[in-house]
């Protein structure tokens, strides 16, 4: 009998994820992905006012923050045929773009980089040699990307970082760097590269605090900004010379520069420098080879998907010569299966349901309760609180790699040429072929290049917004369309969103002014979902089953590398409840 190893919980992610892997020698033969907490948000929304759905759904997760609110509002707008003013689109693009950059940088440095960076090894580094390395890398990419070099690259700077790190280690408490597999032979970076990465890890902590301020200017707060219904809470009056108005305008410009500079001067160089030591991972974690994007970031004043910065479509079998169209409304396109989930459908577990007809019903075990705890997953039956979404019966991967591949392949996309330029630059730097994109390394690099691409768009959206307002374009939302008296008796709509982690869809059915049905398929359901009735694995499972060898089953670093390359957000797919009482956690602040 093959050995089955268990990783539970998978750390440095959002939410609760369990991975089980059946081994054949050092190789993973079969992998199983399980979301271990239940989500019942769809049930909570039934019978509520559709205008309130965005506020509930935006709290699905505190990391993804605004994306569920946008998908929800778009679903209601689609159902009620409400047009979106041009300036509102631009503000949404700015908010989404800032979310992408904030999320991707945080993921790389604080969740994923420690799979490649040996923190303790940084104590052996020569700070002067580290400074030379950092200056060389920064100068090379600054010249190629047309930016300045990162200013914090002196020997004294790295000496200070090393001193702080040594204090952690010598105290016997690594603090934020605890519980790593430090010293694992799969780590390949020299000490100087490790010290450089640790320094940038700490820099990114302060950087993200400043970056979140753009959301507070347009949205009032972060997380969960309030700008989608009723207008932005911090208005900018271009006809006013008040100090606060001038300060807000200056802050937005400075924050955009702040984001762009860190991405181009630190994030991109670090990713390519680290990837250069791990090029063997360009042949690991390939997975399904099928990729889906709903598309997003429309051109100002357009709802045509052809204007999206990120194109909509599906790539099958790694074939970049053909892009298949996607319809979020049509039966037989997007369906969810529960044959290997702890849910049930009225008409059997092997049937797929379109989200408009979707059901969130728990599977009972004959003893009056939900499936009990387990020592190992019952992979022949249900083994996850996630469903298995499929596009025309195909399991697909979503996320930055899917978007970048669609940009690379779609010559009609507005950002196609720049995306291809960035991809070719990265592949040329690493001396890797295009096929390297279909891998754990490619998935990680795609997230970085996407950040560079979005950073280059932010100033343009901001300039267009200001120009429209200065020109007197104050097109407003028709509030009468938001009143239930104007709604049809029945309506349904699909709200799309390309969240940082991938294709996010919300589907709503409205009857007599209330929500009759609501279903959300989140990126981590697409990627982390279990097998379907045909036994087809989800994206996590397929990626782990492709060329993954473990050096030590007690320290499964290799599993973490591939799983983290997807940036899991299981909180979006499953939610926490006490299995005995049904109560959620109560927190009191005195």
Of 293, 339, 524, 565, catalytic: 524
Of 12, 14, 339, 558, catalytic: 14
Average pLDDT over residues 275-284: 97
pTM of the model: 0.93
The alpha carbons of the chain give a radius of gyration, in whole angstroms, of 24
Distances (CA, A) of 507 to 119, 276, 328, 397, 543: 44, 42, 9, 20, 29
Determine how β-strand 17-24 pairs with β-strand 3-7: antiparallel
Residue 274 has pLDDT above 90, yes or no: yes
Average pLDDT over residues 405-412: 95
Q: Using the 8-state DSSP alphabet, how is residue 291 labeled?
A: E
The structure tokens listed for 352 are 């797929």
Band (pLDDT 50/70/90 cuts) for residue 372 is low
Instruction: For 529-551, give the secondary structure using H, E and C.
Output: CCCCCCCCCCHHHHHHCCCCECC
Residue 142 has pLDDT above 60, yes or no: yes
Of 107, 200, 443, 572, catalytic: 572
Whether residue 501 lies in the annotated active site:
yes
Q: Using the 8-state DSSP alphabet, how is residue 343 labeled?
A: B
Residue 245: predicted pLDDT: 67
In this prediction, what percent of the chain has a pLDDT beyond 90? 69
Residue 25: predicted pLDDT: 93
Residue 390 has pLDDT above 60, yes or no: yes
Of 390, 501, 546, 575, catalytic: 501
Whether residue 68 lies in the annotated active site:
yes
Contact, 15 vs 573, CB < 8 A? yes
Most confident listed range (135-144, 231-240, 359-368, 493-502): 493-502
Domains of the chain with bracketed CATH: 3-114+208-286+406-573 (1.10.645.10)
Q: What is the mean pLDDT of the chain?
A: 90
Whether residue 451 lies in the annotated active site:
no
Whether residue 569 lies in the annotated active site:
yes
Give Cα 498 to chain centroid, integer Å: 9
Contact, 31 vs 540, CB < 8 A? yes
CA-wise closest residue to 79 among 486, 353, 389, 572? 486
Helix 440-470 × helix 268-275 angle, to 10°:
170
Of 12, 16, 68, 403, catalytic: 68
Residue 243 has pLDDT above 80, yes or no: no
Of 20, 34, 42, 61, catalytic: 61
Of 16, 546, 561, 569, catalytic: 569
Q: Between 221 and 507, name the one with better pLDDT.
A: 507
Residue 581 has pLDDT above 60, yes or no: no
Band (pLDDT 50/70/90 cuts) for residue 478 is confident
- How far is residue 447's CA from residue 428's CA, in Å, rounded to a whole number? 17
Helix 440-470 × helix 416-430 angle, to 10°:
150
pLDDT tens column, 414-468 = 999 999 999 999 999 999 999 999 999 999 999 999 999 999 999 999 999 888 8
Contact, 215 vs 66, CB < 8 A? yes
Residues 6 or more apart from 583 whose CB is under 8 A from it?
577
């Amino acid at each position: 009998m093959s050995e089955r190893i268990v990783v539970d919980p998978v750390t440095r992610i959002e939410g609760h994820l369990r991975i089980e892997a059946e081994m054949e020698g050092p190789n993973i033969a079969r992998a199983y992905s399980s979301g271990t907490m239940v989500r019942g948000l769809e049930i909570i929304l039934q019978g509520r006012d559709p205008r309130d759905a965005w506020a509930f759904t935006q709290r699905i997760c505190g990391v993804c923050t605004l994306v569920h609110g946008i998908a929800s509002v778009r679903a209601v707008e689609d159902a009620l045929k409400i047009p979106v003013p041009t300036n509102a689109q631009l503000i949404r693009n700015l908010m989404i773009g800032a979310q992408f950059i904030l999320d991707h940088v945080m993921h790389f440095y604080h969740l994923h980089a420690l799979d490649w960076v040996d923190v303790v090894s940084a104590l052996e580094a020569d700070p002067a040699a580290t400074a030379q390395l950092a200056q060389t890398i920064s100068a090379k990419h600054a010249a190629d990307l047309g930016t300045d070099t990162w200013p914090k690259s002196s020997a004294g700077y790295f000496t200070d970082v090393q001193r702080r790190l040594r204090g952690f280690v010598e105290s016997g408490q690594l603090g934020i760097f605890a519980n790593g597999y430090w010293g694992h032979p799969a780590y390949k970076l020299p000490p100087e590269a490790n010290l450089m990465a640790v320094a940038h890890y700490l820099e990114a902590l302060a950087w993200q605090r400043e970056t979140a301020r753009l959301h507070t200017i347009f949205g009032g707060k972060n997380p969960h900004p309030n700008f989608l219904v009723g207008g932005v809470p911090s208005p900018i009056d271009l006809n006013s010379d008040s100090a606060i108005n001038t300060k807000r305008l200056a802050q937005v410009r400075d924050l955009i520069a702040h984001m762009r500079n860190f991405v181009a001067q630190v994030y991109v160089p670090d990713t390519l420098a680290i990837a250069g030591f791990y090029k063997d991972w360009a042949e690991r974690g390939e997975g399904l080879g099928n990729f889906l994007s709903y598309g997003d970031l429309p051109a100002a004043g357009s709802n045509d998907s052809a204007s999206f910065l990120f194109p909509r479509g599906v790539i099958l079998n790694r074939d970049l010569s053909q892009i298949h169209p996607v319809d979020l409304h049509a039966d037989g396109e997007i369906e969810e299966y529960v044959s290997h989930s702890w849910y049930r459908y009225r008409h059997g577990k092997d049937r797929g349901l379109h989200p408009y007809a979707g059901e969130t019903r728990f599977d009972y075990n004959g003893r009056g309760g939900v499936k009990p705890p387990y020592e190992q997953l019952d992979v022949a039956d249900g083994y996850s609180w996630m469903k298995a979404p499929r596009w025309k019966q195909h399991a697909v991967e979503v996320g930055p790699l899917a978007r970048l591949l669609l940009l690379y392949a779609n010559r009609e996309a507005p950002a196609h040429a720049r995306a291809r330029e960035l991809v070719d630059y990265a592949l040329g730097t690493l001396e890797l072929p295009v096929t390297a994109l279909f891998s754990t390394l490619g998935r990680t690099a795609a997230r970085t290049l996407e950040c560079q691409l979005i950073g280059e768009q932010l100033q343009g959206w901001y300039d267009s917004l200001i120009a429209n307002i200065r020109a007197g374009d104050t097109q407003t939302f028709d509030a009468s369309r938001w009143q239930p008296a104007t709604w049809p008796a029945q309506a349904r709509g699909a709200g799309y969103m390309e969240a940082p982690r991938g294709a996010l869809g919300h589907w709503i059915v409205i009857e007599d002014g209330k929500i009759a049905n609501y279903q959300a398929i989140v990126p981590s359901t697409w990627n982390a979902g279990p097998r379907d009735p045909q036994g087809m694995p989800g994206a996590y499972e397929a990626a782990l089953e492709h060329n993954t060898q473990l050096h030590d089953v007690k320290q499964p670093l290799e599993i973490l590398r591939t799983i983290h390359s997807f940036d899991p957000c299981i909180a979006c797919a499953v939610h926490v409840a006490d299995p005995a009482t049904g109560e959620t956690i109560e927190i009191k602040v005195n």
